Structure 1
Amino acid sequence: MTFKLLTDSTADLDENWAKAHDVEILGLTIQLDVEIYETVGPNRLTSEKLLESMKNGGKPTTSQVNVGQFEESFRRHAQNGDAVLYLAFSSVLSGTYQSSMIARNLVLEEFPDATIEIVDTLAAAGGEGYLSVLAAAARDEGKTLEETKAMVIDILPRLRTYFLVDDLYHLMRGGRLSKTSAIMGSLANIKPLLWLDKTGKLVPLAKIRGRKKALKEVVSQATKSIAHRTAVVAYANDLEGAESLKESLLEHDMIDEVLIMPLGPVISAHVGPGTLAVFTIGKDAR
């Protein structure tokens, strides 16, 4: 029996790809300059518009996928007899996962025989997207929901996420980083490198002086004890930096492929312009 694969807009998946591979994306929302924007669909807020606003002093705020959105989706699939696997944005960074669990319980009261499985990926952006791509591939190869879920759960502790940011102010403003860490990482010519630790929390990893050294350090961290030969690079209006990271990653013997993708508006709202990110899968848990 096949199943429906769901994720959310923080996975930064291309919507055309998602449609072609039957992956449903539920959208968080963003408030920017007193307007509320969707992050999925034809009228979605683009990262370009968001980042331009942030350069000019805009202070966006994001809102989780609410219980009603999940309830509508889960109920629709339950009515159709579809089994569902939802790969959720990290519960440490958003209340989206908790909303999905509440909605799941509500729908199961009405449809007790429905299959609605939810995985807290403890991931974001290209990391969450990477897991979604692997899950879609597993399903297309004939893996069951249970087998696909087990694969994701096996991989997610080994998923590595690194963010190289230009300005920690945005993470501090959104409550994802302490004021002390933000101040320490804002010294002249210092490039803060952050990562998601084993609990899914975004924490400082290193403070590197100079962009060139910082890019080299990201590659060094991301390529330690690699288990998968594909890496993902994401960027917020710094395609040149992303291309440079791709070239450096491909020089590593264990990397055969590097996917480049723009950071979506939700993650961009928290990390700000000029951010670069790298996602790899290691042999051991982080």
Structure 2
Amino acid sequence: MTFQIMTDSTSDLSQYYLKKNHIEILGMTVTVGNQTYETIGEEALDNSTLLTAIKKGATVHTSQINSGQFLEVFKKYALAEEELLYLAFSSGLSGTYQSALIAQNMILEEFPNAKITVIDTLAAASGEGFIVEEVVKLRDAGKSLTETLKVLADIIPRLQSRFMVDDLNHLARGGRIPKAVALVGTMANIKPLLDVDPAGKLRQVTKVRGKKKAINQMLEKTLEEMDTAYPRLVISYSGTDEVAQEIKKQAMQKNGISDVDVRPLSPTIVTHTGDGTIAIFSISRQSRE
């Protein structure tokens, strides 16, 4: 390998994929009621347990990865004199990126020649995972870290993340969207569509009446703007995968789409979205506006 890749548990990547591709990972924690769960490893919280607790009215919240956790991992690679690239959850949604920068600065004070690179993906969930997967392809093709960073500078601003959340009150409670936007979502069958803006924050794009119409609009917009040099989509969901699989079926019938992955959202993300969330990720021709 030309360099080591690291990410966090919000990226929706499976343990199998992470292990197969030698990716270092740190996990946020999720607190359900009075019990705190890990989001990686054999004892990781699963979505079924989490969603059941949410439906029963349990109080849930997440905790970001702290600087001490980053410091421990970064030091390991500094001592080994290995290049490490950490791809972080959006700084617009969490303080995890800032924690990583603090740890990076501490390492560089002790090991001035350490090669620890921290990149803000400005993405969430499988959008972050999408970026990680592209980096894996580059690394495995023998690209250097410098070459990889040039590609990241190009594709990160063009990563499109579109969300439809059944119950926006979860996002409002966590401060991810304004309460006024959540209020609209409680009106009769009105589905606000969200995306991730250039600063990596969630924003409302439009409002659509009806879930089916909202999903169709998300898919149509994605396909309309997609860069054919990256002919793949990632569809994420919370709860059951029936809707996500139907979107995949529709997408695969379109010309130019050769790869559509369906995967569950991570518990860290589901804590803030609840059940019934659908998200579509792609690389578009132009940067987010």
Instruction: Normalising by structure 2, report the TM-score.
Output: 0.97
Paired with 1:255 and 1:192, the residues of 2 have a C-alpha distance of 26
Paired with 2:186 and 2:146, the residues of 1 have a C-alpha distance of 45
Query: What per-residue deviation string (whole Å, max 9, x for no partner) do you get for residues 7-61 of structure 1?
Result: 0000011011111101111111111111111111111111221111111112211
Paired with 1:165 and 1:175, the residues of 2 have a C-alpha distance of 15
The alpha carbon displacement at 1:241 in A equals 0.6
The alpha carbon displacement at 1:254 in A equals 2.6
Paired with 1:59 and 1:255, the residues of 2 have a C-alpha distance of 41
The alpha carbon displacement at 1:171 in A equals 0.2
* Contact in 2 for aligned 1:89/1:128 (Cα 8 Å): yes
Query: What per-residue deviation string (whole Å, max 9, x for no partner) do you get for residues 138-160 of structure 1?
Result: 10110011111221221010000
SS at match of 1:53: helix
Output the amino acid matched with 2:117: E
Q: Does 1:184 align with 2:181?
A: no
Output the amino acid matched with 1:194: L
SS at match of 1:100: helix
Output the amino acid matched with 2:29: T
Paired with 1:139 and 1:13, the residues of 2 have a C-alpha distance of 17
Q: 2:164 is matched with which residue?
A: 164
Q: Does 1:235 align with 2:237?
A: yes
Q: Does 1:107 align with 2:123?
A: no
* Contact in 2 for aligned 1:229/1:257 (Cα 8 Å): yes
Query: What per-residue deviation string (whole Å, max 9, x for no partner) do you get for residues 174-206 of structure 1?
Result: 000111111012212122211111221101112
Q: 1:275 is matched with which residue?
A: 277
Paired with 2:52 and 2:146, the residues of 1 have a C-alpha distance of 43
Unaligned ranges ≥5, structure 1: none
Structure 2 counterparts to residues 1-286 of structure 1, below 5 A: 2-227=2-227, 228-286=230-288
Of stretches 69-78 and 213-222 in structure 1, the one that deviates more from structure 2 is: 213-222
Output the amino acid matched with 1:76: K
Output the amino acid matched with 1:250: M
* Contact in 1 for aligned 2:90/2:122 (Cα 8 Å): yes
Paired with 1:89 and 1:145, the residues of 2 have a C-alpha distance of 19
Paired with 1:44 and 1:197, the residues of 2 have a C-alpha distance of 30
SS at match of 1:52: helix
Of stretches 104-113 and 52-61 in structure 1, the one that deviates more from structure 2 is: 52-61
Paired with 1:206 and 1:58, the residues of 2 have a C-alpha distance of 30
Paired with 1:32 and 1:105, the residues of 2 have a C-alpha distance of 33
Output the amino acid matched with 2:256: M
The alpha carbon displacement at 1:252 in A equals 2.3
Paired with 2:233 and 2:32, the residues of 1 have a C-alpha distance of 32
Query: What per-residue deviation string (whole Å, max 9, x for no partner) do you get for residues 68-87 of structure 1?
Result: 10000000111111111000
Output the amino acid matched with 1:245: I
The alpha carbon displacement at 1:258 in A equals 0.4
* Contact in 2 for aligned 1:12/1:129 (Cα 8 Å): yes
Paired with 1:54 and 1:44, the residues of 2 have a C-alpha distance of 17
Output the amino acid matched with 2:119: V
Paired with 2:255 and 2:52, the residues of 1 have a C-alpha distance of 38
Count of aligned residue pairs for this structure pair: 286
User: RMSD of the alignment, in Å?
Assistant: 1.0
Identity of aligned residues (%): 45
Query: What per-residue deviation string (whole Å, max 9, x for no partner) do you get for residues 80-103 of structure 1?
Result: 111110000000000000000000
SS at match of 1:183: helix
Paired with 2:216 and 2:239, the residues of 1 have a C-alpha distance of 20
* Contact in 2 for aligned 1:162/1:277 (Cα 8 Å): yes
Paired with 1:59 and 1:280, the residues of 2 have a C-alpha distance of 33
